Structure 1
């Protein structure tokens, strides 16, 4: 595959290689991408990184619930198109936005250390100090996630749930400046990365709400045959995060889950052996991690598949089909 590395002149007139990094335009996406680029800069002092920001389908459609749009690559398609056209050399995503089956020729070359993966409740200022359990009957909670709404309706049956779309800034503005919502549900990781941890009124534990597959982790997508870029970004892999996310993605892929069905997880790594395995660019649910033992990755993938198979044997397929039908009828 054609190499895309360009040259520029540094302050001493020496040629420096340029790596172009694709990202969404939102403030959170830029913060996340900046953090990844900073990690790469510290490791590769001879490289120059340029950030290329663009809008995606999910950024443009703000009047429809994510589960109703019917597109698997809402926040990734335009970025992957740029990667395919060699307009960028790598792309930074929130891992939860990446489908479990990537387009041919692409791979996840790095998964960074996971931030807190749990969901958080941000309350309207008038409800400061409350919890979901203590909110009055019929209080309206905003969430764009079918996964969150499905779990929380069961756990907090006295509350009502309505769709709320937009980036973090937009949703917080809707919460604070209007009386439409008593609280909204957001990923704790995004709030922390934005520096808004003080807005977190409640962290939802797994008994209240399991989190999304890959939530809290950042992924670097690259062209699978671009060995140079793949080797470069692999230094960012966090072993524990990779294994947890392989298990989660295998679980969701075997269930055939996605935005239109409420699939959720809670994952913890209890034991990991460190023996080296073959370095052969094997992908596990779209992830290439040559610096992590292959047997450990295989075990993680098998665990996800086995758990999904167990649920399917207990009737999960029927539940997922009903969830899709109800979503389509909305």
Structure 2
């Protein structure tokens, strides 16, 4: 194969991610030409409605997948946290890259931390997972939806629509935007458990042995293990973007630490679990942890959470 085509969204972060993969592939395979095919997804077009109400994560991948299935592209580069658990026939998850900082972060023009925010502070996020954990910490917060690409969200903060906004640290770091605001403060995982797959890139590929061989050089073993645990947990719970689920697996040498949280979007009811095991046991850990919360009533709680997300204003 002499030419590989990447289907990508047109946001600055999506383009950074695709350009990064392009450069890495061209470096690993001298003589290989890598081209970007930029397209707009439904998730990029509908910016005034919460994701939970219009279909969740697949809104950012469907058009890219359709282009791949038509033979117009070979791979698509996604933030792994935005990648659905199931794939259309003919496509699969081919690569999981080394993770950036997995933490969420608070951005603000006036306040240095969540604790420093005033009573009734307006905080921007569209993530039900973040909403739940913010309101658990500070029930006084007023949570407002925040859609658009990273630069748009920062602009809205700077224009005074919010006292603070919550974004993934990884995206800010990749785009070098931390200096765009007065305060960029990563949030401890003890306070806010990240999303499944956060800070890793997931490369979706057509089911083709040569394409898989070319991109496999970008796989990271630790990221594959950690995100497998996280995605198994979410898959067993049948949880998508419409429900608040946080899960993070972290390898420390041979030890594997996993924390998870789920509940209602307003933070009024939650279940949390943690488990420590070994690297060798990773293939069963996500499922085992999911079963623990299922035994405590997780399925019914998530059904209620989904109804709230679909029927209430957010």
TM range (shorter): 0.7 to 0.9
Tell me which of 294, 308, 311 is aligned to 2:293: 311
- Unaligned runs of 5+ residues in structure 2 are 256-277
Report 1:219-298 matches (<5 A): 219-224=202-207, 226-270=208-252
Larger Rg: 1 or 2? 1
1:246 touches 1:297 (CA, 8 Å); kept in 2? no
1:109 touches 1:220 (CA, 8 Å); kept in 2? yes
3-state SS of the aligned residue for 1:41?
helix
Tell me which of 134, 146, 168 is aligned to 1:187: 168
Q: Give runs of ≥4 in structure 1 deviating > 2 Å.
A: 197-201, 270-273, 296-301
Tell me which of 217, 225, 236 is aligned to 2:200: 217
- Unaligned runs of 5+ residues in structure 1 are 6-16, 274-295
Query: C-alpha deviations, 1:58-100, integer Å up to 9, x for none?
Result: 1010000111112451100000001101100111111111111
Match of 1:283 in 2: none
Report 1:68-217 matches (<5 A): 68-123=53-108, 125=109, 127-128=110-111, 130-177=112-159, 179-198=160-179, 199=181, 201-217=184-200
TM-score for both structures, normalised by structure 2: 0.88
- Separation in 2 of the partners of 1:248 and 1:34? 26
3-state SS of the aligned residue for 1:58?
helix
TM-score for both structures, normalised by structure 1: 0.84
**What RMSD, in angstroms, separates the aligned Cα atoms of the two structures?**
1.7
- Separation in 2 of the partners of 1:132 and 1:297? 34
1:60 is aligned to 2:60? no
2:78 touches 2:203 (CA, 8 Å); kept in 1? yes
Structure 1 position 158, deviation (Å): 2.4
- Separation in 1 of the partners of 2:17 and 2:219? 15
- Separation in 2 of the partners of 1:201 and 1:72? 26
Tell me which of 272, 281, 300 is aligned to 2:282: 300
1:25 touches 1:55 (CA, 8 Å); kept in 2? yes
Aligned residues: 288
